[in-house]
């Protein structure tokens, strides 16, 4: 039953990500492949999963830094009308509860005024 709940969690995560338009990477084809691969690994007790240390991963030629925060914030203008948001002069109370979005709000506030 444990592997089934992990499988459902994997499917739920990929289903949630399918609601986000993914113009650059092929979107649902990539998500479907990730879901299938993750479920295959789970069904086989993670056999075949390659592991490495964090230090080795950082030094690998395939490891690159990517500024997710600024890339996300910059791309928001392609899906949201920032001028309309700025012009609406609304007040928001935001509490990301310490989640991954906690660092986005200060930067987002700086571009929406």
Do 51 and 7 lie in a common domain?
A: yes
* Average pLDDT value for the chain: 75
- My answer on whether 85 and 98 are in the same domain is yes
Domain check: are 8 and 60 in the same one? yes
Give pLDDT, residue 5. 40
Q: Are residues 56 and 4 in the same domain?
A: yes
Total tally of structural domains belonging to the chain: 2
Token pair recorded at residue 101? 């979005």
The model's pLDDT over 33-48, given as tens digits with 9 standing for 90+, comes to: 888 889 999 999 998 8
Instruction: State whether residue 103 is helix, strand or coil.
Output: helix
Q: Are residues 7 and 59 in the same domain?
A: yes
The 10s digit of each residue's pLDDT in 72-97 is 888 888 888 888 888 888 887 777 77
Out of 26, 46, 64, pick the residue that ends a domain.
64
Answer yes or no: pTM beyond 0.75: no
> If we measure between CA atoms, which residue out of 28, 48, 36, 50 comes closest to residue 7?
36
Question: Domain range for residue 94?
Answer: 66-113
72 & 93 share domain: yes
Q: Are residues 51 and 77 in the same domain?
A: no
Structure tokens at 14: 């990929």
Residues 47 and 70 in one domain: no
Report how far residue 76's alpha carbon sits from residue 82's, in angstroms, rounded to the nearest whole number: 8
pLDDT of residue 109: 76
């Amino acid at each position: 039953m444990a592997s089934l709940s992990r499988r459902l969690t994997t499917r739920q995560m990929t289903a949630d990500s399918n609601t986000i338009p993914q113009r650059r990477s092929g979107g649902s084809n990539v998500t479907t492949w990730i879901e299938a691969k993750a479920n295959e690994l789970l069904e086989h007790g993670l056999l075949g999963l390659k592991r490495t240390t964090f230090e080795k991963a950082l030094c690998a030629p395939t490891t690159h830094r990517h500024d997710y925060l600024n890339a996300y914030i910059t791309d928001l203008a392609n899906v949201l009308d920032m001028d309309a948001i700025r012009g609406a002069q609304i007040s928001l109370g935001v509490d990301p509860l310490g989640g991954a979005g906690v660092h986005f709000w200060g930067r987002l506030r700086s571009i929406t005024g």
